[in-house]
Structure formats: C-alpha cells, structure tokens
Amino acid sequence: MSEPEFIVTLAQLNPTVGDVAGNAAKARAARQTAKAADADLMVLSELFIAGYPPEDLILKPAFQAACRAAVEELARETADGGPAVLIGTPWVEDGKLYNACALLDGGRIAALRFKANLPNYGVFDEKRLFARGPAPGPVTVKGVRVGVPICEDIWLEESEDYENVVECLAETGAEILVVPNGSPYARDKNDLRLSIAVARVTESGLPLIYLNEVGGQDELVFDGASFALNADLSVAAQLPAFEESITTLRWTRSEAGWRCNGPIMPLLEGDKADYAACVLGLRDYVRKNAFPGVLLGVSGGIDSALCAAIAVDALGTEQVHGVMLPFRYTAQVSLDDAASLTRMLGIRYEVLPIADAVNGFEKILAEPFKGLPRDITEENLQARTRGTLLMALSNKTGAMVVTTGNKSEMSVGYATLYGDMNGGFNPIKDIYKTEVFRLSALRNTWKPDGALGPSGEVIPPSIITRPPTAELRENQTDQDSLPPYDVLDAILERLVEREEPLASIVAAGFNRELVARIDRLLSIAEYKRRQAAPGVKVTPKNFGRDRRYPITNRFRDRGEALPQPDEKLVTRGTRASVEAFEG
C-alpha cells in the first residue's frame, strides 16, 4: 500500500498593488499549472489579490470590495474539482479590516484565517491598517490539517502583545505549516528567515512551507526565495530568488509525519544578491508604472555607469537612453569613458553641451549677484541645468529619468536639489560608494540570470579606477569635500544602520572631529533626502521607510558618554497604570 500524498503547488509570483484583475488572472493561470500537476493545494503570497504592501489603499471601501469580489469569483472556479487555493486578501468582517488568507475549495470560501501578529517596525505599518485576528486553528485541505500562520505570525516568541500562533496551531492538531509571506529583501535576509523557520519547526515538530512574494513595489523588492523544511530540519525544497516560480511539491506521510524531497535551487548572496535586487526593483518600477523606457545623465563617472548597467540589465538596450551634458570643466577622459560605456552597453547616446544654458543663467543673475564672490552657487547652476534638460527630455519622450546618487552622497547631502537629484527612481540610493565600486567590478565578470544586458565587460575599467569627481570646477575630486569613502562609509554605517552614539564610534578608532562633522552633515541633509526620488531598499535600514527623522531637529549627539539613568529620581508607583492611579 502506497503512502498517503499531499501535493502542494507553490506559486511564487509577482503581483502588482491595485491590479486586482491582473493579480486574479495570475492566480487563475497558476492554478491551471497546479491542476495539471494534480495538486491538492496551491499557495499564493500574503495579500496577493491586493498586491503587497497596499499601504492606505487598503482603507478604500471600493478597493476592499473589488478584492473580495475577485476572491469570490476565484472561489466559484474551484467547483471544477481542481486544487484548493490559499490566497492572501484583505477581508472586512463585523466592521473590522483583516489581513487574511482565504481557502478556496469546492466552489466556495471554505475557510478564512486572519493574521494575528501585525508588524509595526521598519517598513511595516500594519497596526494602523488592520485589526488583530484571533488565535487560529488549522484549516482542512483534502483531509490534511494545515496550519496557516501569516508572515509575522512565525517571527517572534510569545509576549504580552504577541500570540504564539505556531504553538496554538500545533496544539489544535495541525499536521503541516504553510506560511504565506510578503517579506522584502534586505542584505543577509535569507539566513534570518531560515533561522526563524528552524525555530518554529523545532518547537512544533511540524514541517513548514515558507512561500514568499517576488517583485518590486516602490522602494521594496521581494526576492521570493521560498523554501520548505521537513520536521527533522532538513531542507525539503528551495525555490529561486528574484524570479517567478511555480513549483509543485509532493509530500508523503509516514508514522513520522509529512516529508518532502523537492528541488533545491542555489541562491544569490552578498553583492550578487544586492545587484539582482537593484535590477528587479528598477525593472518593476518602470514596467508597473508603464514608462516606455528610461534616460539618465552619463557623466563618465562610476555612479552613472553602474546605474546604466543596471538599467540595461533591467530593461534591455532599446529602452535606455544615455545623455552626456558637458561643460567646460568636463575632462576629455570623462567624454571618452562615457562614450565607451554606452558603446559597450549598446544604448542610444547623445552629447548635449550645456555652456549656452549655464552662461545664460549667469547672465540673468549677474545683477542680483553683483559684488558677491563666486561660490558653490555657480557650481550648482551646472547641476541644475543638467537636471532641467533631462526632465525636458523626459517630458517630451515619456521616458523616466533615472537618478544616480549613492547612499554615501544621500547621507551627507553631497548632491544638488533640482539638479543631479532630479529623477523618478534611483536604483543605487541604498548602495554606499564603496559598494558601488564593488558592484561595478562584479558586473564586469558576472550578470544575473534573466538580465537583458550584454555579458562580459560593460563598464570601462578606467571609470572604476579613476578618482570620483563631480567636475563642477577645475581639478575637483570628491575627496576635496569628503573623507576617503572607505572611512566615510564605515562611519555612516555605524550612524545609520546601527544608530551608534558618537562616543562609541570614536572609541572604535575614528577621529572625533570627523565623526562629529559627518553626524552633522547627516542631520542637516534630511530636507534633501525628503525630496529625493525613491530607490531600491538593500540595507537593513534605508532612508525613508526604515529611517524617518524630522527635518526640523536641533538634537545633536555631543560625542560624550551617555548619562546613566538615575533610578532614585523615579518615585515608587510612577509606572502604575491609569486604572490604579484613578482608583
């Protein structure tokens, strides 16, 4: 007698926020694939029908109704005897909005499961959008009791505000855990996800399927990389990262429980994963917002070179347009390198000298500037002239301007508002300058699967080795205004990602005056960052969604040892509840 089987199709797909009909069509097509594989269940990601994260769009009653209608139609289609479908959807019940998963089977909505633990940190803001679901029990699919913790439901241990959903499911008879996720990419995230899943399998003794979304949504990139673990913690399956995948897993049951031996795909790690995330983020931003292509200023520098390579890998050569905008400070080597780059990438390229425009602005401003010394104002006129011309080309052609500032520059404000900051999207906004060098060298020896650009060397080595310069005055280099990038980035990583006090950074061996200066620049550049284009999130803490600082802010860390709290000043009973106080 053969062992019982439970066949599950993982639909790691790329939904679009707000495209309810399009997302439903993706689900419908994937179900046909699952049906051909004789699947019992097809699993889709968190809030799939809405797209994730829908942010405040989810609060619109018309959107809620459209999502429900689409789910109900998909439910009716399961009357054909094919696989059941587990799909993420917003759901309104008793006047409350839930982050839900609906089990569609036998022509109806057979069960609903509401997310219990709502994340409210980093990029997540679910407590203000959704009501907290009750402690769940398993749902039954083809006689198998399936526990459905939704994303955050597996991430933390039980606490006062946190339900141990997995423990509850195990105690109520779940045989296998199926976890729909909307988990965005960040560097080294795969190891963290796996460790969380291992902890839940260890405490429950149950096998676990982790199904994640793939695709770009504004700043966020979802990398997929779905996987499954057997109860003995062995990897049952590993899906690829940064691409859609419909994979069917055959689970068999013995006395020890359910077990699977599925495909194990290699995952990108480190710089390769960061580069792939930048490509996918730009590709989906352009395609999902229906831009016909992109254009960017090609300066002969490394930032624009890396962005051009990312753009070609994301969109192909026909959809990328490079523009060189030289002025009298533009070196011949920059002109040569820009031409070589665009030739190696195979993209359209043109040179538009800006001298007439810059001189015209200076002529207009001659009277109000009379008697005032030349300074950074005239330098910024060059950058703003370039920004104006790129936006004019964008207006005329519909192509989106790719802006090319790296995270080091965004951190300290080494960028010009309405100049080189102009643009619709920035694929390297969360990439430090030292990482820009690494990714550029990497791209000359490798490209990700599915990339549309040419193989081999695409960035002239002279661009990578040449000292960076904005070329806004004679013989200028970035290091005239900034410390060496390896030092700058090491300080910034401690200030931004780790939120370290200045005293700790100085104790680690960095110059006190330099650390204080960088911290000041980081603080006063907040107003610029607030007006910058969105860009791909790569690090654990990007500007915008993760790090939200006030523009008006007079606090400065003085670099002194942190004062210790004086517990003697806290009157006994200060922490009492309001009820106790009123009593």
Whether residue 211 contacts residue 232, with contact meaning beta carbons closer than 8 Å, is answered with no
Whether residue 329 contacts residue 379, with contact meaning beta carbons closer than 8 Å, is answered with no
Sign of the dihedral defined by the CA atoms of residues 311, 312, 314, 316, in that order:
positive
Which two structure tokens, joined as six digits, stand for 320?
């990328």
* DSSP per-residue string spanning 88-121: EEEEEETTEEEEEEEEEETTEEEEEEE------S
CA 458 – CA 442 distance, rounded (Å): 10
Report CA 529 to chain centroid distance, whole Å.
17
Of 46, 213, 243, 493, the active-site residue reads 46
Whether residue 206 contacts residue 175, with contact meaning beta carbons closer than 8 Å, is answered with yes
* DSSP per-residue string spanning 440-469: HHHHTT---TT--SPSS--S-HHHHHSPP-
Active-site residue flag, 46: yes
Identity of residue 191: D
Of 115, 429, 447, 528, the active-site residue reads 115
Strand 400-401 versus strand 294-297 pairing type: parallel
Active-site residue flag, 151: yes
Neighbouring-strand partners of residue 351: 324
3-state SS assignment for residue 515: helix
Task: Mention every residue, 6+ apart, whose C-beta is less than 8 A from residue 322.
Answer: 295, 296, 297, 298, 308, 338, 341, 342, 345, 347, 348, 349, 350
* DSSP per-residue string spanning 47-104: TTTT-S--GGGGG-HHHHHHHHHHHHHHHHHGGGS--EEEEEEEEEETTEEEEEEEEE
Of 26, 67, 126, 151, the active-site residue reads 151
At residue 172, φ and ψ (nearest 5 deg) are -100, 15
CA 567 – CA 576 distance, rounded (Å): 16
Segment (H or E) for 141: strand 139-141
- CA distances from residue 533 to 336, 364, 401 in whole angstroms, order as listed: 29, 29, 10
Neighbouring-strand partners of residue 9: 42, 248
Whether residue 521 contacts residue 513, with contact meaning beta carbons closer than 8 Å, is answered with no
Task: Mention every residue, 6+ apart, whose C-beta is less than 8 A from residue 520.
Answer: 556
Whether residue 127 contacts residue 94, with contact meaning beta carbons closer than 8 Å, is answered with no
Helical H segments across 238-375, by residue range: 270-288, 302-315, 332-345, 355-364
Residue written as token pair 């599925």: 262
Residue 297: exposure state from Cβ atoms within 10 A (0-12, 13-18, ≥19): buried
Closest CA to 14 of 187, 217, 310: 217
In angstroms, how far is the first alpha carbon of the chain from the final one? 69
| Residues involved in catalysis | 46, 115, 151
